[in-house]
Copies of this chain bind each other. A is one copy, B any other.
Amino acid sequence: MTRKKPATLSDIAATIGVAPMTVSRVVNKSGYVSEEMRERVLQAVAEMNYRPNGLARSLKRQRTETVGLVLGDISNPYSTEIANAVREGLSAGGFNLFICISEHSAKEDIAAFDSLVDHNVDGIIVATRSNKEGDERLAGIADRYIPVVVVGRDFHHDQVDSIAADNFSGGYEATQHLIDLGHKRIAFIGASFNDRANLKRLQGYLAALTKHDIPIDERLITGKKETASESPGYSTEKIGYEGMKRLLSLPNRPTAVFARNDFTAVGAMTAVKEAGLAIPRDIAVVGFDDTPLALHTLPPLTTVRQPMRLQGQLAAELLLRRIKNREIETENRVLECELIVRQSTV
């Protein structure tokens, strides 16, 4: 059996003996077509299993009604929530979403940008970590007036809207909460210097300590100075578990820990329980992100909720706005985080 090529608009036109344009009008419901002709065309379309060629259409129309989303990794509630919210926002506006994964590599970041630009998407939402080469390419794209919105990425350009959670104040509040409970030896688990959001959380932690005249003890800050691409964000239970083990072996161990995120917190909690200590009596634990998991740890986890969905919604909204009209002021939104107190600290 030989493979037959898909029918084109001209094929349809030829078989029923009309001009291609007439078929186009029926398919696109535009312009004048008689009811009789409409039916003839529609029947042929159905019979020949015709589908418009999107490439040709987009090439001619100069728009694809498609938006690209670049994520660092997919195995991460943050990415997940953003993607879902973006998708909803876009499909409400009639746009399709294509997602690309960069695995936190600058090279893949760029490959994703290029691939999306090559497919002439109408706009791009970028939610990967900043890196020099990627930023340069992104600037080049924005320079060409392709609508771009960045989420949680440290990138500035006069054509690019940005959205981020206030990780600094989130970290500050989490630490403040522990201080309010009387803790003096508060640890930070999972510091990472090439992840901007994480860094901000750490800075918030440091600021809160400083504000309350609590000396900063470097031994209480675990983490590593990664240089390049790093770990699958998701399985950071390991980081938490190992970090906590190290902290517990200190001569003067902490009475509270602030973990970079909920997964790290879960790992830390496991280490605490294994050591025969109680949470929060011996060690209080705070996480970050308020993932669904946080409700189901034992005890339930105090954590900082960042508005993930809202970030995704806003990203979709700002991008659609910019697609409609490129000549607008850029917006840079910073969204508040909220401390959710549960039983792991009280």
Contacts and interface: CB of A to CB of B under 8 A. Distances in A.
A285 interface: no
Contacts of A145: 3
Contact of A234 (B74, B292, B327): B292
A240 to B, nearest CB: 8
Interface string A292-307: 1101111000000000
Contacts of A203: none
Interface residues of A, number: 62
Contact of A296 (B59, B120, B241): B241
A54 B118 contact: yes
B118 A119 contact: no
Interface stretch (A11-19, A28-36, A78-86, A206-214): A78-86
Interface stretch (A98-106, A128-136, A168-176): A98-106
A49 interface: yes
12 contacts: A49-B143, A49-B144, A51-B114, A57-B118, A59-B59, A74-B80, A75-B81, A97-B100, A119-B119, A235-B292, A270-B296, A270-B298
A10 interface: no
A237 interface: yes
B54 A119 contact: yes
A55 interface: yes
A6 interface: yes
A58 interface: yes
B59 A237 contact: no
List 6 tightest A-B contacts by C-beta distance, closest first: A54-B118, A235-B292, A98-B98, A99-B99, A75-B80, A237-B296
A233 to B, nearest CB: 11
Nearest to A293: B237
Given A100-B98, A118-B52, A74 B84 contact: yes
A56 B59 contact: yes
A326 interface: yes
